[in-house]
A and B are shown apart, each in its own frame.
Chain A
Amino acid sequence: MKPITLQHKSKEELRTLLKTSAKKDLLLEKFSELDMPSTKSEAYRYFDIQPLMEQEYKTAAFIPREIKEHDKIEIVDGIVKTAPKGIRVYYGTYDDVDMTHFDPLYYLGHLLTPAVIIIELDGDIEVELLHRFTKSQTLFAYRLVIKNQINRHATLYETFEGKSAERSLVLYGYDMHIAKDSSLRVLKNQTAYAPHYTMIASHKISVEKQANMVFKSFDFGDASALTLLKVDLDTSAHMEAGHLLYIGGQAKRGIVSQIVHKGKHTSSHQEAKNILDENARGIFDALIKVEHTAKYTKAHQNSKAILLGENAHMVTKPQLEIYIDELEASHGATTGQLDKKQLFYLQSRGISQIDAEKMLVIAFANTLIEKIKDTRNQERIKMSFEEAFYASNRTKLLKKTDQ
């Protein structure tokens, strides 16, 4: 399959091409209206989508198997293999697709997925979710629906593996429902190197009344990937988002998000830290929308980027769209090199330039990593970051120069 063949097609043409039932006509209409992304699409403007769309992919067969018991949820090539005891994981249909999502691939994901994977997080639990991709030049399209329970507090720790999935494309995402008075914390830890898989993750998160959503993404390596996130906040709901990016090579990676404040007394805090090396391009294209129904909103957004490579580049588009007066809102963005004063201070104490640079880069990342409350997950993410950092060409090159 070549995704580009779905470009500029009518609903009817798409129905034939995708062999979908009439039940999915609304999704087809929406996808046709938004159209297959190109470099001209707003959400994909800074992401090299065209070569991915023009590539020919094999399609992964959808053959659900018996889900075995294990300590984590493992999804291999879009099929659930294992799940822990006591957590309901099953296939089903999903009728609450968000018809106001900005991302065409959110709809394509739903159109290509015969059945969604539904995960019900019961109680105050922590669950690990591992996605594994094993086939090269393959298009993996699957979606999850994740629900938690009223008054419960859960954590989802998400990781990815795909060394043998060279030049594959993953169209994945979840529709997440955060129940009233509950909290859900998602920690995404993804290290990916080219030419392994490219991932486009398109999510929708609905945060209900008095609920609290924490979404923290940690993206390392030199593979390209884009996360597209739409969040709706109901009355007194809170969203805390943090994104750490450490990328190099030719990677184009980042986040395109819309946080929509719908109810009164909602709050959101979004913070991005980006470390870009070599020829990498970081993307932080984030909109906070405060609707006229969302009085007394608090919304804050900030992005900071450090450019380590001479050809590294950060695209930052923080945006506020506000329809009321009674609110507190701020946004800001900075891009620069490592602080000369800080570097000099460390060097003046006998620390080599290389080690001083390393300390500052790790320190910059740590300001986000150390906000993870539990030590175990904090250590795991710290380790992933340091592995990616010490594996980077820059560190290798600097080591050589130092010898």
Chain B
Amino acid sequence: MIQIENLKANIGSKEILKGLNLILEEGKVHAIMGPNGAGKSTLSKAIVGHYDIEVTGGDITFKNHSIIKMKPEERALEGIFLSFQNPVEIPGVNNAYFLRTALNAKRKHEGKEELNAAEFLRLMKGHLESLGMKSDMISRSLNEGFSGGEKKRNEILQMLILEPEVIILDEIDSGLDIDALRAVCEGINKMKNGKRSFLVITHYSRILDYIKPDYIHVLKEGRIIKTAGPELVAQLEAEGYESIKDESI
């Protein structure tokens, strides 16, 4: 679904991704694990077209088209969704208004009719309940004053409403207690439909108890050095990243 070939990317003058190769298969859950500073977040930002990232080489293709030169909103409209590690607060932008604008932009892109406020609220109501979110959260400013858990739930709410084809979860488990983690993961699991792909970026294996991965990729020093099945998690837990040999060379 997404093919990343020999991707090189800088933040400022520092090269972070140094020839990364990765294929995200349709309907599969891919987990990226790796030590601090390996380039995990840079990879997610490169896929969604973050302004911090300068791609200096290689390519990212989605639905057989290069997306490297596409604007972030174009990538989103095509179906790529990043759940942020630290969702930004935007005072003055109403959460429901923002979400409806985003959904209608997508519907317009797909040639569908836009939803009016009442239709949108009906759609949102069910999702709010399933995520255990208070109804007043949609009338508040976007992420403003939200707790860590509320911000992550709000990310999942956006995901449920926008129904993307590729979902990138950047440390979705950080700052979540057990109950919040379970609710968030239930929301994510609901999105599995056999076609949608997931890229789960994480430091810890805990989240992989809730979202079962099909593949584990170890990212180190800007490259994927090993790809294996879910059994790799136990080895990483026991022996750490140092034990993994670079199999990409």
Contact = CB atoms under 8 A, between A and B. Distances in A.
Interface of A: 339-342, 344-353, 355-356, 359-360, 362-367, 370
Contact of A345 (B71, B81, B84): B84
A340 B45 CA distance: 14
A340 B109 contact: no
Q: Which of A345, A360, A370 has its CB near the most chain B CB atoms (within 10 A)?
A: A345
Interface in B90-121: 90-93, 98, 101-102, 105-106, 109
Contacts of B224: none
B92 A367 contact: yes
B105 A363 contact: no
B82 interface: yes
A350 B84 CA distance: 15
A351 to B, nearest CB: 6
A108 B77 CA distance: 60
Contact of B105 (A341, A355, A365): A355
5 contacts: A340-B51, A349-B102, A352-B105, A353-B73, A359-B98
B124 to A, nearest CB: 15
Contacts of A359: 93, 98, 101
A261 B72 CA distance: 51
Given A347-B72, A359-B98, 17 more contacts: A340-B51, A346-B90, A346-B93, A347-B76, A348-B73, A349-B73, A349-B81, A350-B77, A350-B162, A351-B101, A351-B102, A352-B105, A353-B71, A356-B73, A360-B90, A360-B93, A363-B93
A334 to B, nearest CB: 14
Contacts, number: 72
> What band does the interface of chain B fall in when counting residues whose beta carbon is under 8 Å from A?
20 to 34
Contact of B73 (A339, A352, A367): A352
- Top 7 A-B pairs, shortest CB-CB distance: A363-B92, A350-B76, A349-B102, A347-B72, A366-B92, A347-B73, A363-B93
B88 interface: yes
B87 interface: yes
B76 A349 contact: yes
Nearest to A369: B92
B201 to A, nearest CB: 15
A344 B88 CA distance: 10
Contacts of B84: 345, 348
Contact of A350 (B51, B105, B141): B105
Interface of B: 48, 50-51, 71-73, 76-77, 81-82, 84, 87-88, 90-93, 98, 101-102, 105-106, 109, 141, 158, 162
Nearest to B75: A348
B98 A346 contact: yes
Contact of B90 (A342, A347, A348, A355): A342
A346 to B, nearest CB: 7
A351 B90 contact: no
Contacts of A346: 90, 93, 98, 102
A379 to B, nearest CB: 15
B93 A351 contact: no
Contact of A351 (B50, B51, B73): B73
A339 B105 CA distance: 22
A348 B48 contact: yes
Contacts of B158: 349
Contacts of A370: 92
B225 to A, nearest CB: 28
Nearest to A355: B101
Contacts of B87: 345
B175 to A, nearest CB: 18
A341 B88 contact: yes
B50 A344 contact: yes
Nearest to A356: B73
Nearest to A361: B92
Contacts of A363: 90-93, 141
Contacts of B82: 348
A350 B102 contact: yes
